[in-house]
Structures are given as C-alpha cells and as structure tokens.
Amino acid sequence: MSPLIAFIIGSGPNIGKHTAVALKAKGYQVAIGSRKPVVEEVKKDGYLPVALDITRPETIKEAFASVNKELGPPSVVIFNGSVYSPPPNRDDPLSTPLDKFTEMSAVAVSAFAAAKEAVAAFRAEANKDALKTFIITGGPLPWTPLWMTSFLAGTLQKTNEWRMVELLAAAYSKENFRFYFASLVHAETGGVIDPFSEFWTSGPQHAKVYIDLVTRPDQAEWDYRFNLKAEEWKKA
C-alpha cells in the first residue's frame, strides 16, 4: 500500500498546526507550505517544510513538485491560506492600494493552482486506492451581508474560492475526488461566529471536521458548514 501523503498550504498556529497533528496521528506524512518555513522546527515536528507564497500563484506548482519528490503525490490537499490588508480608510474600500488588492485577489488564483496540482496528484498511480480530498478553509463571507466595507477584497477572495469548489465538486465527482469549502459558522444563524475571537482558537474543531471529511468514503455537501462543536450545520 502506498503511503498516505497530505499537503497543507498555510501553516498558521491555529488551523494549520492542529490539522497537521491530526493528519499525522492518522498515519499521514504531512508537508506544510508557508512563505518562510522555519525548516528545522518543522522537521523536528515530523513534517516536510515547503516554501511557497499564496500571493504568487506561480510558486504553487513548484511547491507541489517538492512534495511529490520528497514524499510522493498527496491524496489530501488543504488550502488554508488567506491574506487580508485593510484599506487605509476603513470607510472607503477604494482606498486600498492596487498592489495590496492584487495580492489579496491572487490568493484565489493560488487556490485554483493548488486544485489543479491536486487533481494531477490524485490521478497518480500511487493514489489509485486512496481517498482523495481537497479542502479550502472557507468562511461565511460569500453568503452573508457585507456589513464592513473594509472586507471587500476578502469577500471577493472567498467568493471566488466558494464558487470554484462548487464547480470542481461536480466536475470531478465521477473520479471520486472530493472538494470542500469548509466554513465555521454561528450555531444559530449560520453566519459569522460571535464573538469572532473564538475563531482564533478553533484549530481543534477545524482539525476534527477536516479529518471527518478526509476519512469518509463519499462526498458530503461541498459547501460544508460546521459550528464550534465541530458538528455539521444545516439551515433549519
């Protein structure tokens, strides 16, 4: 049996860290992609450090090449990257410098590049019998009212990813490639959690949900929403 390989793009101390630990506990060899990986520290934790920059989509292909070379083609890819640069004037979304807006917009292009490389990896002979899953760490911005004008670029970023996952889940269902836009939401409203500060400690809940999605044999709802108890949320 081929080894289980997972690639996490975006290795923060919250979701990325807890998900890496959970995947490793499930027997996965885990590669972690970040802009400036602390190589020795990452290796000490038992992971493969991979340099990439989600504001530069051209770095994604090279990052996957590194994972393929060092570990093998991943059967699990988690895109946990996001970039937010608030406009200088929070009441004026068009005050965002064009270069910053371009950087934030590039993240969705990197998600596309990651999905493209993931599908190539899923089709590798080594993954013939593996469960193959691509997850984007989502959020409720695509479907909730835009109450803060400073979130314009972030909303467009997540909305692009949301629609992309919807299309990919349908397009590759015959090959049993699973795609998810996984979002932590308010238990009652299905919108942004309140207080939002709880998001920054929600790594364990994200990790549990991601493991559940990775290990289930079928495609769940592509627009997968869950609460702070790591339970699936569905509109009443």
Return the domain boundaries, the chain. Answer: 4-226
Show Cβ contacts of residue 182 under 8 Å, excluding neighbours closer than 6 positions: 135, 136, 137, 138, 206, 209, 210, 213, 224, 225, 226
**Residue 90: its pLDDT value, please?**
86
Predicted pLDDT at 1 = 67
- The Cα 223–Cα 56 span in angstroms is 26
**Cβ-Cβ contacts under 8 Å for 40 (sequence gap 6 or more):** none
CB contact at 8 A, 162 and 179: no
Does residue 82 contact residue 137 with C-beta atoms inside 8 Å?
A: yes
pLDDT of the residue at 151? 85
3-class DSSP state for residue 92?
coil
d(CA 209, CA 22): 10
Using alpha carbons, select from 67, 170, 178, 169 the residue that is nearest to residue 121. 67
pLDDT at 236 (0 to 100):
67
CB 107 within 8 A of CB 83: yes
Quick check: pTM over 0.75? Answer: yes
Q: Can you identify the CATH homologous superfamily of domain 4-226?
A: NAD(P)-binding Rossmann-like Domain (3.40.50.720)
Tokens 């495609």 map to which residue? Answer: 219
Structure tokens of 177? 């490639």
| Collapsed DSSP state (helix, strand, coil) of residue 38 | coil
Both tokens assigned to 87: 């406009």
Residue pLDDT tens, the chain, 236 long = 689 999 999 988 999 999 999 999 999 999 999 999 999 999 999 999 999 999 999 999 999 999 999 999 999 999 999 998 889 998 899 999 999 999 999 999 999 999 999 999 999 999 999 999 999 999 999 998 877 778 888 899 999 999 999 999 999 999 999 999 999 999 999 998 988 899 999 999 999 999 999 999 999 999 999 999 999 998 76
Q: 125 CB contacts (<8 Å, ≥6 apart)?
A: none
pLDDT value of residue 148: 75
Nearest Cα residue to 193 out of 182, 203, 183, 178: 183
Q: Which two tokens stand for residue 17?
A: 């860290």
